[in-house]
Structure 1
Amino acid sequence: MGFANDRIVVVTGASRGAGKGIALALGQPGTTVYVTGRTELEGDAPLPGTVAATAAEITARGGVGVPVICDHADDAAVERLFSRVASDHGRLDILVNNALAVPDELALRGPFWEKPLSMQKILDVGMRSTYVASWYAAPLLVANGAGLIVNTSSFGARCYMHGPAYGAGKAAVDKMAHDMALDLKPFDVAAISLWMGMLKTERTAAAIGGNVEAYKQFAAHAESAEFPGLVIDALARDPKLMARTGQVLIGAEVALELGVTDIDGNQPPSHRGFLGDPTIFSDAVVQ
């Protein structure tokens, strides 16, 4: 596809974590990145980070960061987001669906029925929000004549990870990428789902706390929050991108293939051998 540097990008859920890292990695000089999230001011959320801070860092690096307060559980707010992109630029090059409601109880041990019913929020902002954002973004991508939708996902789509709500949400966005790819392919717009590894984020830093020694193994294999964004950038620039459309890809494996290293120069490993292979869908089409 070979996107130029004047591309227009939307990254959802980018106040912090993977979304922030992806937005920073994609926000290269000349690129405009719309950064969405709910956190407007420091202190509004338990973890540090705001949409404005992410956007400001993109701008400081030479891109153009545009902060947009957007609750991805609110379809009207999502519609306003993409109407703004259409009004400002009339096109879109890349959509990264990363917004995810992360319940405080996500990592609790025990069967799903002993966890709060609110765990299903992950199916609203995560699964459903991916469909809604893609629905509003698709006409802009199609009109552009080229583009890329990336759904951030994980090995939890294939193995037991945090329980059925999390697993169902990740499996769903993988399948959405596959099916959206079929509809988008005639317009040279790709859709893929990207399995990220363990990430060094504000959330993991808070979880580790002062137990740095106990998490040495994690640190040795974890990816920076920017690493998935570097992989997405390489995919977007890959002339063979459309050959990958509809697939579930492991970020670390794509990085190795395309010559991408993490920001510290390390080559993060794939966890395929331990956590499982990406899903391969049937080629059958029923319309």
Structure 2
Amino acid sequence: MSGFDFSGKIVLVTGGAGGIGSALCRRFATGGARCVVVDIDGARAAKVAADLPGAGHTGIGCDLTDRAQVERLFEAVADDHGRLDVLVNNAGMTSAERFDVRSVESIEREITLNLTSPLVVTRLALPLLMASRDARVVTTVSLGGILPLGETPIYTASKFGLRGAMLAIGIDLRSKGILAGSVMPSATDTRMLRQEAVDGGNSLQFQDRPQQPADVVAAVVRLLDKPRLEAYPRPGESRLVRCAMLMPNLLPRAFPLFRKRGDRGMARYLQELRRRGLARRTDGRWELVEEA
């Protein structure tokens, strides 16, 4: 049983209609929380909220890169609930498009969504969090916030920055009665990872079989049960990554040793997606099959 009592808690999850976000909402709602499901796709957010167990859930469409929309989001939460007990910063994006051909606009948008928006969301949520007796902030970062991923440098930049910011915020807010921490998942079987795989993204993520959203949910719950600055769904991976970063100048020589294994892992993952009816190969190219 969880040591954190979700009963009656007001929990807001960004990216709440995605694979990890919707799994988080189901877990929280099962424990008795009232969930505010936030997603850029308002229709999907509303559907996730409607399908949750219990009552009092809402789905809200919000572009987190638009501060005016974020301000309206928290005005709605204030009107409906008057407080916020748990904020989960979970929205994010990545792109397999290589740095030397990416548009500047796409770089700015990814940095804004992955790094700036969680900071803005957390800042604007503080008055509602301070109205809670036991306020928590949990942020989904990534092992890509520790180890550089050569094919996705903008994602790496945003996650490196987000990890550092959330460590600092966690230290600062603790003295104000708000416990903040981050989860550091590796590759997780979500639509975002599937898209990256069919686009030929970073094979280093596929050293092992991707974990499931339930693994990230379990790490979040452990973080709520036992507050700390960081939690890792796969502790063994985290130790390997942190050891590798003790000698970053060796990474160019070390990466080729892992890349072949990662390429094989990504090929296996793509075949698994085909067996599950989630990807197909057409004219020599992989593409996603959208779920009904």
Which TM-score band (shorter chain)? Answer: 0.7 to 0.9
Question: Aligned residue for 1:3?
Answer: 5
Question: Aligned residue for 2:101?
Answer: 114
Alpha-carbon separation, structure 2, partners of 1:279 and 1:116: 29
Alpha-carbon separation, structure 2, partners of 1:178 and 1:278: 20
Q: Contact 1:155–1:276 at 8 Å: present in 2 too? A: no
Following TM superposition, by how much is the alpha carbon of 1:152 offset from its aligned partner in structure 2, in angstroms? 0.7
Alpha-carbon separation, structure 1, partners of 2:196 and 2:153: 22
Relative to its length, the structure with more helix (as a share) is 2
Q: Contact 1:29–1:63 at 8 Å: present in 2 too? A: no
- CA change 1:203–1:131 in 2 (3 A) is closer
Give the counterpart of 2:47 among 44, 53, 56: 53
Greater Rg over alpha carbons, structure = 2
1:32-51 alignment to 2 at 5 Å? 32-41=34-43, 50-51=44-45
Alpha-carbon separation, structure 2, partners of 1:279 and 1:100: 24
Give the share of equivalent positions with the same residue, in percent: 26
Q: Could you report, residue by residue, the CA deviation over 1:44-96 in whole angstroms, capped at 9, with x for unpaired residues? A: xxxxxx112221222xx335431001010111111111122122121111111
Q: Could you report, residue by residue, the CA deviation over 1:132-163 in whole angstroms, capped at 9, with x for unpaired residues? A: 11011112212213211111111111212243
TM-score by length of 1: 0.73
Question: Aligned residue for 2:186?
Answer: 197
- CA change 1:107–1:274 in 2 (3 A) is farther
Structure 2 residue 72 is matched with structure 1 residue 80: yes
Higher relative contact order (CA 8 A, sep 6+): 1
- Greater Cα offset, 128-137 or 159-168: 159-168
Partner AA of 2:75 in structure 1:
S
- CA change 1:24–1:74 in 2 (3 A) is same
Q: Contact 1:10–1:96 at 8 Å: present in 2 too? A: yes
Give the counterpart of 1:14 among 5, 13, 16: 16
- CA change 1:187–1:28 in 2 (3 A) is farther
- CA change 1:279–1:131 in 2 (3 A) is farther
2:63 aligns to what SS in structure 1?
Answer: coil
- Greater Cα offset, 154-163 or 127-136: 154-163
Following TM superposition, by how much is the alpha carbon of 1:207 offset from its aligned partner in structure 2, in angstroms? 6.0
Following TM superposition, by how much is the alpha carbon of 1:130 offset from its aligned partner in structure 2, in angstroms? 0.5
Q: Which runs of 5+ in 1 are unaligned?
A: 42-49, 210-214, 254-269, 281-287
Partner AA of 1:115 in structure 2:
R
Following TM superposition, by how much is the alpha carbon of 1:40 offset from its aligned partner in structure 2, in angstroms? 3.3
Give the counterpart of 1:100 among 69, 78, 92: 92
- CA change 1:205–1:171 in 2 (3 A) is closer
Partner AA of 1:198 in structure 2:
A
Question: Aligned residue for 1:45?
Answer: none
Structure 2 residue 250 is matched with structure 1 residue 250: no
TM-score by length of 2: 0.72
Q: Could you report, residue by residue, the CA deviation over 1:72-123 in whole angstroms, capped at 9, with x for unpaired residues? A: 0111111111122122121111111112243xxx124x4x223332133111
Q: Could you report, residue by residue, the CA deviation over 1:156-180 in whole angstroms, capped at 9, with x for unpaired residues? A: 1121224331111111111221221
Following TM superposition, by how much is the alpha carbon of 1:237 offset from its aligned partner in structure 2, in angstroms? 2.9
1:33 aligns to what SS in structure 2?
Answer: strand
